[in-house]
Amino acid sequence: MAQGDIKTFDCDAFAKDLAGQASQVVPKDIQKEDKDFVVEIILRFCKMAGDALVNEENSKLNAQQASLITQFIGEWIFHKSIDIIRAGIEPKFREGILQKVAFTVFDIAKKAVERDMPQEQLITLVEAQVKKCFTKALEDLKEKGILNEQITQNALAQSNIDAMAVEQVEEETVNEIATMSDSKIIKLASLAVLIRNFPPERMKGILQKFNKPERDVLLRYLKMPNLEEKLDLKATIKCFEEIKNTLPEVVVVSYDKAYKKMYKIVKNAHKNEILNIIDNERPMVKEFVLSCYEHKKKKLPAYIADTISKYLEENVS
């Protein structure tokens, strides 16, 4: 919507559009009667909010800002109405709870928009205040004996907004997986056969090198029983060859070479600088580095010695 005068904001049409969008995404576990309630309450509250914004005297808002505030109300009424329905709160108490949510969003969002608060901060602020007022509304009903402890806690435990966010991520992942080529999927399956018996830390390091859709596919194959029997042997061998060709050449690490390198670095640097660098390191590392001053080699695995020497090389000025 263009940043026009607030009087150009058609709040009725906008509220109908928000309610229509909501009707398309109401979760499948919500019954028709409850779904109708969700759509109707969004329509009514958004109309009321839009009317209040448009008819406010000396309003500092434009049409786009009014639509943003109204949209915030529609979205939060949608999520919290789903939460209280799933929690089993009786219909006659729902509107009162949602009224408090709508008023809170209206008040907080309006003040924040008038102050030109960045939208990311606005989203965080509104979410925090909704949680606070929703909790208070439920606690008030519990104190009056309208809600019991179980229903109150059940309502507080609900989070449709988080559930929808997870569903969206999962759907995006599924869509990305669907676009993967067959050859890539076969390579991932073959790699799963290759690494499934690796130590956990090494396997974790390999998984972290893949993007999420590829990692998800790889994890599925890693958990699949008798995976080797389900793959084409020739295709798997071919994939192994390709994986082998893409791996870097194995570099043999020499302990003596690593120690000599470290010894040279330590001797050419000021001792206080070396001590500062290793101050927060593990005793094993400290002993290994300080052995250079005592002319007594401290034996460590070659790859650890090499890692320490490289670390000193990078940090000594």
Residue 216 inside a domain? The answer is yes
Q: Are 307 and 290 in contact (CB under 8 A)?
A: no
Residue 175 inside a domain? The answer is no
- Looking at the structure, tell me whether residues 196 and 63 fall in a common domain: no
Which has the closest alpha carbon to 188: 163, 146, 220, 165?
220
Residue 170 inside a domain? The answer is no
- Looking at the structure, tell me whether residues 19 and 143 fall in a common domain: yes
How wide is the angle at C-alpha 65 spanned by C-alphas 69 and 160, nearest 5°? Answer: 30
DSSP per-residue letters across 173-203: HHHHHHTS-HHHHHHHHHHHHHHTTS-HHHH
Helix (H) or strand (E) holding 281: none
- Looking at the structure, tell me whether residues 23 and 150 fall in a common domain: yes
- Looking at the structure, tell me whether residues 134 and 263 fall in a common domain: no
243/190 Cα distance (integer angstroms):
9
Global confidence as pTM: 0.54
- Looking at the structure, tell me whether residues 53 and 185 fall in a common domain: no
Residue 131 inside a domain? The answer is yes
Instruction: Give the three-class secondary structure for 251.
Output: coil
116/120 Cα distance (integer angstroms):
11
212/220 Cα distance (integer angstroms):
12
- Looking at the structure, tell me whether residues 271 and 309 fall in a common domain: yes
Q: Are 110 and 53 in contact (CB under 8 A)?
A: yes
- Looking at the structure, tell me whether residues 229 and 270 fall in a common domain: no
**Domains of the chain: total:** 3
- Looking at the structure, tell me whether residues 239 and 266 fall in a common domain: no
- Looking at the structure, tell me whether residues 55 and 92 fall in a common domain: yes
Residue 228 inside a domain? The answer is yes
Residue 76 inside a domain? The answer is yes
Which has the closest alpha carbon to 274: 284, 262, 260, 258?
262
Where a domain ends, among 133, 165, 197? 165
What residue type is 30 in one-letter code?
I
Instruction: Output the tens digit of pLDDT for each of the chain's 317 residues.
Output: 345 688 888 999 999 999 999 999 898 889 999 999 999 999 999 999 999 999 988 888 888 999 999 999 999 999 999 999 999 999 999 999 999 999 999 999 999 998 888 888 888 889 889 999 999 999 999 999 999 999 899 888 887 776 676 565 556 555 665 677 777 788 888 888 888 877 777 777 788 778 877 888 888 888 887 777 777 777 778 877 777 666 555 556 788 888 889 889 988 888 888 888 888 887 888 888 888 888 777 777 787 888 888 888 888 87
Which domain does 137 fall in, by range? 6-165
**What pairs with residue 5 in β-bridges?**
62
